[in-house]
Structure 1
Amino acid sequence: MWTCWRSSLADLRDADFDLSVIGFDAGELAELLDPPQPGPPGGGAGSLAEQFMVPPFSTLNARDTAWQDRKKAWLALGIQSELGRDAPAFSSASDQQKADRGAPAQHRTSIFDPVLCELAYRWFCPADGLVLDPFAGGSVRGLVAARLGRQYIGMDLRAEQVQANRAQLDLLHAGDPAPAWHVGDSRKIGQHLADVEADFVFSCPPYANLERYSDDPADLSTMDYPAFVAAYREVISGAVGQIKPDRFACFVVGDVREKRGTGCYRNFVADTIEAFLDAGMQLYNEAILLTALGSLPIRAAKQFSASRKLGKAHQNVLVFVKGDWKRAVAACGDVEVSDELFPEPAT
C-alpha cells in the first residue's frame, strides 16, 4: 500500500503538480518520496513497518496480509488459546433453554490475536518487564509474553481455564520465562498477588455478558450490567495498584448492546476509561483494531435490514499511563522487531 501511494506521489511530482496542496510540508514530502533505507535495529531507519512491525497509527489493521501471515506463524507454534473455554458459552437464557432440551447452544468464545499481543509488549512493556493480566482467559497473552522474554502473571477465576493454560507450557523454548497462571477472583488481585510489581498491565476483559464463561456468581459474565461495572472497577483498581510508577497499561475492549429493551450500546468503552482514570491512570493512546471480517459479510445484510444495526468489525485498544509518560517511554526502551521467534519452514 505504501509503495503504491509513494509511486502516485512521485508521478504527480514528475507532472509538476503542486504537492503542497495536499497538506504536507517540504520535509514530509521528502521523507515520503525518498524514505531512508533500512539500517541497524534501533537506528530509526527503514519503513515504519521495518521499525515498529506495523505503522504506529491509531488504526491497526488485522486484515492486512502481513498481519495475517504473522498471526499464522504464531499459531503454527501450537498456541491454542481456545482451550479451557471450549464448553458452550450460554449467551442468553434461550441458549440455556436450548441446551436443556438437548439442542446445541450458540458458541461465541472469542480468541485473542497473538499479533496484537506482540505489538503491545514490544511497544509498551520493557524488554525484561513483568506483565500482569487480571483476566487470563486463554493462553495466548502468556505464551507470547514468554517468547518475547517478558515475565507474565495472570489470574482467572476458573481452575479449568488455568489448567488448560498451564498444559501449553511445553510450547516454550529453553530460556523462556514460564508464565504463571493463578486461580482467583481478580477483584482481590492485590491480596492474591501482593508482592507483584508489574511493568505492564495487559488484558481483554469480559465484554459484560456477551460471552458467559461459567455459572459461578463471582464470574463477571454472569452479572447484570450495573453489577458487572462495579466488579470491573474493583479489578481495574486492584491491577493499577500493582503497576510500578511510570508504566503503561493496555485493555482491549469493545462496546456491547443491551440484549433486551432498547438494544442500544452500553458505552462499555467509556466505562473502562472512567475506571482507569478513577484508579489513577491517564488515557495516553487509543486505537481502533480492524478485525478480520469472518462471516460478517454474510450476516450483515439481514442484520441491517431488520434492525439498522451496523456489523461490528473493530475493537478499541486503550493505552493508559501511570505517572510520567516520558519516564514510561524511557523504561520501554527501543522497539525491537525480529522474526527469529519462528522456525524456518522445512525444505
Structure 2
Amino acid sequence: MTRSIQTQEWVQQKIAEGDIEGGMSAGQTGTSIFDPVLCELAYRWFCPPGGVILDPFSGGSVRGIVASKLGRSYLGIDLSARQIAANQEQAAKICGAPEPRWINADSRDIDSLAEGLAADFIFSCPPYADLEIYSDDPRDLSNMAYPEFVAAYREIIAKSCAILKDDRFACFVVGEVRDKRGAYYGFVPDTIAAFQAAGLAFHNEAILITAAGSLPIRAAKQFEATRKLGKTHQNVLVFCKGDPKKATAAIGAVEFGEIDGGGDTEYGEEL
C-alpha cells in the first residue's frame, strides 16, 4: 500500500496553521517554501520505499517532513542553529516515525557527521552562490567568492556521493545566478560537473516552472535596459551512481501516476 499525503493541500494547510515555515532564504518570514509536490515526486520516483535520504543543504523543514510522511528516513545538515531548531519544532508537531533528523553543522564535515550512514537518495536545494547571503558565518558558502564557493560545493557533493549506496540516484534543484557584472556564473553546469567528478552519471533534467508574480513587469524594464531575459524556472538535475537499471529495480514500481513511453531507447528516453 502506498502512502499519499496530497502534498500541495497538506503543506498549505500546515503553513496556514503555522506548523511549517520557510527556510533561511525567507528570512523566517514564511514566504519561501520548497515545492512539496516536487519533493513527493522525487521521493516516490527516485528513492526506495523505506529508504534513507541525505540532504546536505537542509535549510527548510519541508524535505524532512515530507520524507517522514512517506515513510522514508531523512538526515539533513545545515549551519543555522535557528533554522534547525525551527525544523525540529515543526517536525515534532506533525511527524511520526520515522522522524526526520537534522544536524546543526558544516556540511563540509558530512563524511564524519554521517559516518556509518548508507544513503538511498541524495536530495537537496543548495545555496545559489551569493544570490542570497544567509548569515555572517565565514563557513557559510553564500559568503564566499564564487571560485571558493565552487571548491567547497564540490567537496560537499563528493563527500555526499561517497555516502550514497551504489546503484542509487541523487537530485539537486538549482538555478542560474549572475555575477556582479550581470553575467551568468554557470552554476548549473558547475553542479553537473561536480556530480560527474564524484563519479555519477547525469541521468535526467527537468524544468520546474515557478510562479511569475511581478516578473513580467520587472523583466520588461530589465530587458529594455540590459537585454537580460526574466527567469522563472529552476533546473531539477538527477544523477545516478552505478547502474541505472539496478537503481530503478531497487526502487520498484512507480507508486502513482502514469508514464507515457515516448520512445524506444534503452532507458525509455524520447528519441
When the two structures are superposed, what TM-score results if normalisation uses the length of structure 2? 0.87
The 5-angstrom pairing of residues 165-176 of structure 1 reads: 165-174=87-96, 176=97
CA contact (8 A) 1:172 1:178 kept: no
Match of 1:284 in 2: 203
Give RMSD over aligned pairs.
2.2
Q: Distance in 2 between matches of 1:70 and 1:185?
A: 30
Alignment correspondent of 2:22: 82
Structure 1: tracts of 5 or more residues without a match: 1-40, 43-52, 54-68, 89-106, 339-347
Map of 1:282-321 to 2, 5 A cutoff? Answer: 282-321=201-240
1:240 to 155, 161, 174: 161
1:170: how far off?
3.0
Query: Does 2:129 match 1:189?
Result: no
User: For the residues of structure 2 that align with 1:322 and 1:87, how far apart are their CA atoms?
Assistant: 35
Look up the equivalent residue of 2:219 and give its one-letter code: A
1:214 aligns with one of 132, 135, 153: 135
Q: State the percentage of identical aligned residues.
A: 58
Shift of 1:87: 3.6
User: What is the deviation of 1:301?
Assistant: 1.3
Measure, in 2, the Cα distance between the counterparts of 1:207 and 1:85.
10
Which residue is equivalent to 1:138?
60
On the 8 A contact 1:77/1:171 being kept in 2, the answer is: no
Q: Spell out the pairing of 1:35-184 with structure 2 (5 A cutoff).
A: 71-78=8-15, 79-82=19-22, 86-87=26-27, 110-174=32-96, 176-184=97-105
Once the two structures are superposed, what CA deviation does each residue of 1:60-94 show, in whole Å capped at 9, x if it has no partner? xxxxxxxxx95233221345241555548xxxxxx
* Count of aligned residue pairs for this structure pair: 252
Q: 2:14 is paired with a residue of what secondary structure?
A: coil
Structure with the greater alpha carbon radius of gyration: 1
CA distance in 1, matches of 2:26, 2:167: 38
Decide which of 174, 180, 183 is 1:253's aligned counterpart: 174
Q: Is the 8 A contact 2:61 2:91 kept in 1?
A: no
Deviation at 1:108, TM superposition (A): 11
Cα offset for 1:112?
1.1
- Between the aligned partners of 1:293 and 1:87, the Cα distance in structure 2 is 21
2:212 touches 2:232 (CA, 8 Å); kept in 1?
Answer: yes
Partner of 1:269: 188
**Is the alpha carbon distance of 1:77 and 1:337 closer, same or farther for their aligned partners in structure 2, counting shifts above 3 Å?**
farther
Q: Give 1:297 deviation, angstroms.
A: 2.0
The answer (yes or no) to whether the contact 1:206–1:221 under 8 Å persists in 2 is: yes
Shift of 1:192: 1.1
Q: Is the 8 A contact 2:23 2:59 kept in 1?
A: no
1:29-40 matches, cutoff 5 A: none
In structure 2, give the amino acid aligned to 1:76. Answer: Q
Q: Deviations over 1:191-239 (max 9, x none)?
A: 1111111000000000000011100010000001000000000110010
**Which structure 2 residue ranges, 5 or more long, are not aligned?**
258-271
Residues 239 and 74 (structure 1), Cα distance of their counterparts in 2 relative to 1, 3 Å cut:
same
Q: How far did 1:335 drift?
A: 1.6
